[in-house]
Amino acid sequence: MLEPWTEDRQEAERIQRKIKKMQEEAAIRSIITAKRALIRQEGAELQTALHALAEEMHAFSSNSLVSGLAGGLSGAAADAAGNVLQAIPQPAFTSPII
């Protein structure tokens, strides 16, 4: 024989499972949102570091390397090497983290 409250009990358990599932989904969404924010922050930090490295590379090729080659080359060769090195554009690195 069935208990008189079986249907009500089953309905209450179904509602409880539904609430638990909704809470789990909300917790998962919160975790994903937090991870996305962390990844965006890491991407921004990496982009800043890449930009600084690009500036450093450009300064080296257009200034340091030119002055270093001046001692080894002379005349038109030194001028041509300096012009070529100074004409190299600054690299544009982009972060793979979006």
Q: Structural domain boundaries of the chain?
A: 7-87
Asked if residue 90 lies in contact with residue 51, where contact means CB atoms within 8 angstroms, the answer is: no
Q: Is the pLDDT of residue 25 over 60?
A: yes
User: pLDDT tens digits, residue range 48-94?
Assistant: 999 999 999 999 988 888 888 877 877 888 888 888 888 889 999 99
List strand residue ranges (DSSP E) for 24-96, in order.
none
